[in-house]
Amino acid sequence: MIEVSGIRIPLSALDGTDGRELAACRRALARRLGVREGDVVSLERRRRSIDARKRGNVQLTFTLRAELAPGARPRADKGVKIVGERPFSFPAPVAHPSARPVVVGAGCAGLFCALSLALAGLEPLLVERGDDAARRAEVVRRHDETGELDPESNIQFGVGGAGTFSDGKLQTGTKSPAHRLILETLVAAGAQRQILWDAKPHVGSDVLPGVVTEVVRQIEAAGGEVRTRCRMTDLEVADGAVRGVTLATRADDGTEREERVAASCVVLACGHSARDVFELLRERGVALERKTFAMGVRIEHLQADVDRALYGSAAGHPALGAAPYSFSCHLPSGRSAFSFCMCPGGYVVSAASEPGGVCTNGMSLSDRAGTNANSGLLANVFPEDLPGDDALAGVELQRACERAAFAAGGGAYVAPAQLVGDFLAGVPSSAGGRVRPTYPRGVAWGDVAPCLPPYIVETLRAAVPVLGRRLRGFDAADAVLTGVETRSSSPVRVTRGADGQSVSTRGLWPVGEGAGYAGGIMSAATDGILAAEKIVASL
């Protein structure tokens, strides 16, 4: 098997269909190697990216794997290499322990950790405070329509975690041999095959509920147990080690049944919004520390404007789809601003999980066909920006900003919004322009600045014109800012050692975004798998 990188295909050879793309790849590969098309016995796309550096000549670039017919004599090419690596796999089965692991949280870290442990024969118990994916989707829809908020099941909490309702973007800046395994697992669970080769893969919030439901089924088929509407209310620690957990299971009538479960291995995959869990850990003496996180707003533009800015005359070509962007800028003040979780053809969503607080996020459906583009426009909050020495000071800052946004919106989870031109001028907005906000609970035009710390506001005001020079129209006066975005990452780290366990509490395995060790679906899922490997090795 050979792998060939840097295969470039012009848009004129493509029409947006998979068959046309594969045929173009085969022709281009044969030309590159100097062989006949019939000599290419098998062909696999390993990476597909868009090269839009020259807007007048947008091309697709591929890395391809192929098997050639015996006797084919490809020409020498420095972009060709022989491949045959051993694929990364889930941990092998081990002897059954005396007490099964308990995994707290069914986001991407918890799901992949539990799946790994189940395939290793350890019969894990996976508990999730929110609902299963189908029921959770109905709860989110009800909140969007009525403003009714379920603090236990919402965009943050439920099977699949926060990533289920934020587009399912799988792009990551990290590298791990586990990434291919994660993608293949998602495809086997119902995700689109193109995530295996797209440079910026995504699943879509309309497809993900079915995908995570299938992953749950796989966990159960391998011997694991999954409980939804089941919240960890206590962590039993004695002599510096975990001894068990107390679980409260919520019935349809709202009543709760508590149960103590003995456990010497607890995987903490609670997500970045489980503030009550952080408070419980502090009470039980588990080592916590502050970490850098980010806050800001959601910014919306017309997707057609973004397409033209990035693709020029090629905008709208069916092989390209809705254009994404990602950038950051470093300012003379020493601070930085950056885009986050950019959702092409997407929607701003209500991501609240506490009564009386407005929090936004973004999502796209699988077709990314919405009128607007949106992304987080964020600036960092550093530990030294926070008062005192409480490890949870960042949580309190998030909460204060969310409550300020709730008040600015007038209640009922309406969000404050402002036009970019007015934000830069420091004046409130009274109405919108070309860009119609997509936030489902509606917006109250005004001033988003009072909802955020002054250093965040100053950083964003300085950054928008700079980013407007990088992406034409980013600083358009009628682009919309909706506040506030506070949950891009955890403000807390549950400190762990090289063995993967809490430095203060043996048997507690902090993983994923909530523990402060990941920053997206792929890195969190990887962290969950690697934690399972270490747990298996420790047995």
User: Residue 140: its pLDDT value, please?
Assistant: 97
Which H/E stretch holds residue 300?
strand 293-302
Q: How far apart are CA 526 and CA 532, in angstroms?
A: 10
User: Which range (41-50, 81-90, 114-123, 403-412) has the least confidence?
Assistant: 81-90
**In 3-state terms, what secondary structure has residue 464?**
helix
Per-residue confidence (pLDDT) for residue 224, from 0 to 100? 97
Q: Count CA atoms within 13 Å of residue 108 on its CB side.
A: 29
The percent of residues above 70 in pLDDT, for the chain, comes to 100
For residue 484, say if its preceding peptide bond is cis, omega within 30 degrees of 0.
yes
Mapped onto helix, strand or coil, the DSSP state of residue 132 is: coil
Quote the pLDDT of residue 85.
73
Would you report the helix, strand and coil content of the chain in percent, each value rounded to 5? Answer: 30, 25, 40
Average pLDDT over the chain, rounded to an integer: 96
Query: Mean pLDDT across the stretch 195-220?
Result: 96
pLDDT for residue 363: 96
Please provide the DSSP assignment of 389-425 as one string.
Answer: S-TTHHHHHHHHHHHHHHHHHTSTT-EEEEEHHHHHH
Mean predicted confidence (pLDDT) in 138-157: 97
Closest CA to 360 of 451, 459, 486: 486
Q: Give bridge partners of residue 227 from the DSSP assignment.
A: 127
Question: Tokens 């366990």 appear where?
Answer: 501
485 strand-pairing partners = 296
* % the chain with pLDDT above 90: 93
Are 347 and 398 in contact by the 8 Å Cβ rule? The answer is no
Is residue 348 predicted with pLDDT exceeding 70?
yes
CA–CA distance, 445 with 449 (Å, rounded to integer): 12
Q: How far apart are the first and last CA of the chain?
A: 38
Rounded distance between C-alpha atoms, residue 511 and residue 525, angstroms: 9
The hierarchical CATH code for the domain 102-289+494-538 is 3.50.50.60
- What is the structure's pLDDT at 97? 67
Domain range list for the chain = 2-82, 102-289+494-538, 292-485
Among the residues of 189-289, which ranges form H helices?
208-221, 275-283
Token reading at 351? 């991501």
106 within 8 A of 126, measured Cβ to Cβ? yes
What is the amino acid identity at position 164? T
Close Cβ partners of 173 (under 8 Å, ≥ 6 residues apart): none
Please give the Cα distance from 467 to 308 (Å, whole number).
16
78-85: average pLDDT: 86
- Which among 396, 435, 439, 390 is positioned nearest to 416, based on CA atoms? 439
Is residue 423 scored above 80 in pLDDT? Answer: yes
Mean pLDDT lowest among 84-88, 201-205, 261-265, 275-279:
84-88
Cα–Cα distance, 125 to 122 (Å, whole number): 9
For residue 179, what pLDDT band results from cuts at 50, 70 and 90? Answer: very high
What Å distances lie between residue 248 and 226, 245, 281, CA to CA? 14, 10, 17
Rounded Cα–Cα distance for residues 408 and 417 (Å):
9
The number of beta carbons lying within 10 Å of the beta carbon of residue 153 is 25
- The mean per-residue pLDDT over the stretch 246-254 comes to 93
pTM: 0.96
**SS3 for 74?**
coil
Of 520, 64, 507, 38, nearest in space to 266 by CA: 507
Average pLDDT over residues 141-170: 94
CB 314 within 8 A of CB 320: yes
CATH topology of domain 2-82: Alpha-Beta Plaits (3.30.70)
Q: What is the token pair recorded at 211? A: 């995908």
Q: What is the structure's pLDDT at 86?
A: 79
Higher pLDDT, 518 or 166: 518
Instruction: Say yes or no to pLDDT of 112 above 70.
Output: yes
Residue 520, token pair as written in the block: 């997206």
**Amino acid code (one letter) for 128:** E
pLDDT surpasses 70 at 127? yes
pLDDT band, residue 55 (cuts 50/70/90): confident
Q: What does the DSSP assignment read for 245-267?
A: EEEEEEPTTS-EEEEEEE-S-EE
pLDDT in tens, 470-497: 999 999 999 999 999 999 999 999 999 9
Asked whether the beta carbons of 514 and 531 are under 8 A apart, the reply is no
Q: Three-state DSSP class for 163?
A: helix
Rg (CA), the chain: 24
Measure the CA angle with vertex 90, ends 89 and 94; round to 5°.
125
Q: Any idea which residue has 């009714």 for tokens?
A: 148
Q: Is 316 within 8 Å of 331 (Cβ atoms)?
A: no
Query: Above 90 in pLDDT, residue 366?
Result: yes
